[in-house]
Structure 1
């Protein structure tokens, strides 16, 4: 063998070895792919996704499926370059920087806990939105989420405390509690009525000056609700807020005669607030692909996601544009009856 041929062979071997090693190197990216779908009016592992006790329910048909995004990678289990490259070549998969899902300011455990809390809040909001649409009264409450260290509220409240009144005035509204505190001058005291477990007590807290010059106590609050009957939602290992719309529709369907799907296979996504406003979500491309693979023919799409959705909608999937819970119900009514307008995501 000539020296030139030997040199070329060695160089080729080294190049191949470097390529193999390089392909196995971990990279700070995450692969997003279509995740499982779950029918909110169906059964998962032998248990109904939505169980309602204490109120009349009705038989349902068809499906109202929530959709999810699965991810591979992350700080504790990084991808190799080859996996990332394969993802870039697949139109139903997205490869995004690791920081998009795992901010450096949060640990993986903190992110998991946040997703779990967002799912819990989403279920509460979904129930409140469905009951509001049915004109069923719901009692709002104000719950302490946490207190800021070093503020007047630090040590005075515990997470889970319910604030029932401020300065003797009963309230169940977050904005009303905040306004009552800001109505004081910095340095004055605020008297809270707090329910902790089964005990109600008065908690007096001094105020400090916030950055805007208004009074503050340093308590972070969240809205909670007391429903007139029990609604349980069980979806297993799913987190985040994006199933809110589909939860609310599933609850509504079970509480009303007939079936809002008309037997169709409907999927969708979107956050929801107690007033029924539908918000944007991430991973719309992967969620549509998962919905179509599961047999859905209709996809309820948050209005803010329409521009991205129309660019990647799978064949055979009809996009229905929704901005509110009422929009979704009306669109499903029109699809079922075959009459009336059905808002669609406009073509790009």
Structure 2
């Protein structure tokens, strides 16, 4: 009996040490990191773009007559967990619906966590701008281009200020940030351009020598970030923090249209969805949609709006009590919801 106890005791020691090894992320007293190079992606928070967060409207519109909204138009997200130990990765793989992916898919090689977060923040801001343009275009409300930020020590430093309205470049009128970017990218570093702009209701002109892009010396850089804003007094603001990437664009745009047009786009129902939005209103695919579908159904959504190119992956989530509508543009998303609410023909992903 004593021999058996000794055998069990000594045999258990390697197992205990192995279990300890796979459950710690670093060796105490050293800089040795034992986390594994994988991340887990799963359902993230879902937020009603027609509602409020921390007492503020998620989509805030001022200087306009707003229509009463009903129900939900929820944006959906994917949660990402990194810096995990081997045991944590195995646990999430065995006991959750998370997807385990190489860490390079989340944090590209050569980029720090801070750089990835900044890239996601920039994409989110660009998405907000595109959402506003798409909504204004749908509602036939004119837009104009506004300087959002002037990069430090750039060609535009000391010339432009945030809030300036850009009117034309080399005599060509611009109505979207894309128009301005197309003209600048057609030039070479060292070329001069003349920009007409408006500040405090006064029009001015500036001739600027373009500089090199820091990542590609052959590409010209002006050195400003731009937003499209309604040319009327209408102001649209998006009040969300700690959310990155462009995938909320379509839902933001739908919220703007819903607030500025009569009736409820969603018919008062709980609608969720995802998809990028372009200035022309086209809806693009995103990543992790299966997790977003699960999050939406768990939250109680009746309808989910999926980019057409994501349909197959969306259906892989096997929704039980939620209809997934296929959309490829802002106008189609609105038409699809109307058809669903009226009981007429609509397109599903199934």
The residue number in structure 2 matching 1:211 is: none
Equivalent-residue separation in structure 2 for 1:154 and 1:135 (angstroms): 32
Using structure 1 for the length normalisation, give the TM-score: 0.82
The residue number in structure 1 matching 2:24 is: 24
Shift in alpha-carbon separation, 1:23–1:330, aligned structure 2, 3 A? same
Of 330, 334, 346, 1:342 maps to 346
Shift in alpha-carbon separation, 1:154–1:66, aligned structure 2, 3 A? closer
The answer as to 2:321 corresponding to 1:316 is yes
Shift in alpha-carbon separation, 1:294–1:223, aligned structure 2, 3 A? same
Task: Indicate conservation of the 8 Å contact 1:191/1:205, yes or no.
Answer: no
The answer as to 2:282 corresponding to 1:273 is no
The answer as to 2:58 corresponding to 1:49 is yes
The answer as to 2:229 corresponding to 1:226 is yes
Q: CA RMSD in A?
A: 3.4
After TM superposition, the structure 1 = structure 2 runs for residues 1-348 of structure 1, keeping only pairs within 5 Å, are 6-7=6-7, 9-25=9-25, 26-73=35-82, 78-90=83-95, 92-140=97-145, 153=155, 164-172=167-175, 177=180, 189-193=192-196, 200-205=204-209, 217-219=220-222, 223-227=226-230, 228=232, 229-339=234-344, 341-346=345-350
Shift in alpha-carbon separation, 1:198–1:99, aligned structure 2, 3 A? farther
Shift in alpha-carbon separation, 1:324–1:198, aligned structure 2, 3 A? same
Q: How many Å apart are 1:45 and its aligned residue?
A: 2.6
SS of equivalent to 1:99: helix
Q: Which moved more, 1:301-310 or 1:88-97?
A: 88-97
Q: Which moved more, 1:53-62 or 1:81-90?
A: 81-90
Deviation readout 1:260-288 (Å, 9 max, x if unpaired): 11121100001101111111111112111
Shift in alpha-carbon separation, 1:4–1:91, aligned structure 2, 3 A? closer
Aligned length: 335
Gaps of 5+ in 2: 26-34, 213-217
Equivalent-residue separation in structure 2 for 1:162 and 1:105 (angstroms): 36
SS of equivalent to 2:316: helix
Q: How many Å apart are 1:5 and its aligned residue?
A: 6.8
Equivalent-residue separation in structure 2 for 1:147 and 1:194 (angstroms): 20
Equivalent-residue separation in structure 2 for 1:219 and 1:82 (angstroms): 49
Using structure 2 for the length normalisation, give the TM-score: 0.82
SS of equivalent to 2:76: strand
Equivalent-residue separation in structure 2 for 1:182 and 1:299 (angstroms): 38
Gaps of 5+ in 1: 209-214
